[in-house]
Amino acid sequence: MPFNIYDFSGTTKAVDQFLYAKMPPTWAFVTELAIVGLLILIFYAVIGLYLVYAERKVCAFMQNRVGPNRVGKWGLIQTIADLIKLLMKELVVIKKADQLLFNVAPFVIIIASFMAIAAIPFAKGLHAVDFNIGVFYMMAVSSIGVIGTLLAGWSSNSKYSLIGAMRSGAQVVSYELSVGLSLLAVVIFSGSMQLSVIIESQANGWWIFKGHIPAVIAFIMFLIASTAEINRGPFDLAEAESELTAGFHTEYSGIRFAFFFLGEYMNMFIVASLAATVFLGGWMPLHIGNLAGFNHVMDFIPPFVWYFGKTIFIIYVIMWFKWTFPRLRIDQLLTLEWKYLLPINLVNILVIAFIVLMGWYIK
- 145 in Cβ contact with 226 (< 8 Å): no
Number of domains in the chain: 1
Q: How far is CA 203 from the centre of its chain?
A: 23
**Residue 297's domain spans which residues?**
2-7+96-358
Amino acid at 304: F
Separation between Cα atoms, residue 252 and residue 262, nearest integer Å: 13
Identify whether 316 is part of a domain.
yes
Tens digits of per-residue pLDDT, 215-237? 999 999 999 999 999 988 788 88
d(CA 195, CA 209): 18
Q: Over 80: is that where the pLDDT of 185 sits?
A: yes
> What's the pLDDT band for 129 if we cut at 50, 70, 90?
confident
Strand partners, 126: 123
Is residue 14 a part of any domain in this protein? no
* Nearest in space to 115 (alpha carbons), one of 159, 80, 86, 148: 148
For residues 235-254, average pLDDT:
77
Band of pLDDT at residue 38, cut at 50, 70 and 90: very high
Q: What is the pTM assigned to this prediction? A: 0.91
Residue 184, domain member (yes or no): yes
Which pLDDT tens digit goes with each residue over 298-338? 888 888 899 999 999 999 999 999 999 988 888 899 999 99
In degrees to the nearest 10, what's the CA dihedral of 346, 349, 351, 355? -170
Sign of the Cα torsion 148, 149, 152, 155 reads negative
Question: What per-residue confidence (pLDDT) applies to 2?
Answer: 47
Residue 75 in any domain: the answer is no
Residue 86 has pLDDT above 60, yes or no: yes
Handedness of CA 80, 84, 90, 95 (dihedral sign): positive
pLDDT averaged over every residue in the chain: 89
pLDDT computed for residue 241 by the predictor: 67
What CA–CA distance (Å, rounded) separates 91 from 70? Answer: 28
Nearest to 251 by CA among 155, 124, 147, 115: 155
The pLDDT value recorded for residue 116 is: 92
1 has pLDDT over 80: no
Q: Could you tell me how many residues make up the chain?
A: 363
Q: For residue 36, is it within any domain?
A: no
pLDDT at 186 (0 to 100): 94
Higher pLDDT, 179 or 294: 179
Q: Render 139-194 in DSSP notation, one character per residue.
A: HHHHHHHHHHHHHHHHHTT-HHHHHHHHHHHHHHHHHHHHHHHHHHHHHHHHT---
**Residue 52 belongs to a domain:** no
- To which H or E segment does residue 46 belong? helix 25-62
The pLDDT value recorded for residue 250 is 84
Confidence (pLDDT) at 107: 92
Q: What is the CA radius of gyration of the chain?
A: 21
Q: Please choose, from the candidates 105, 91, 95, 94, the residue with its C-alpha nearest in 3D space to the C-alpha of residue 147.
A: 105
Q: Which of 157, 155, 154, 182 is nearest to 167 (CA)?
A: 154
Which whole number is the average pLDDT over 102-120? Answer: 91
Helix, strand, or coil (residue 126): strand
Greatest CA span in the chain, whole angstroms?
68
Which one, of 195, 185, 31, 73, lies nearest residue 127 by Cα? 195
pLDDT tens-digit readout, 140-151: 998 888 899 899
Give 195 or 236, the one with higher predicted confidence: 195
In a domain, 331, yes or no: yes
Is 28 inside a domain boundary? no
Q: Are 152 and 246 in contact (CB under 8 A)?
A: no
How far apart, in whole angstroms, are the C-alpha atoms of residue 19 and residue 69? 45
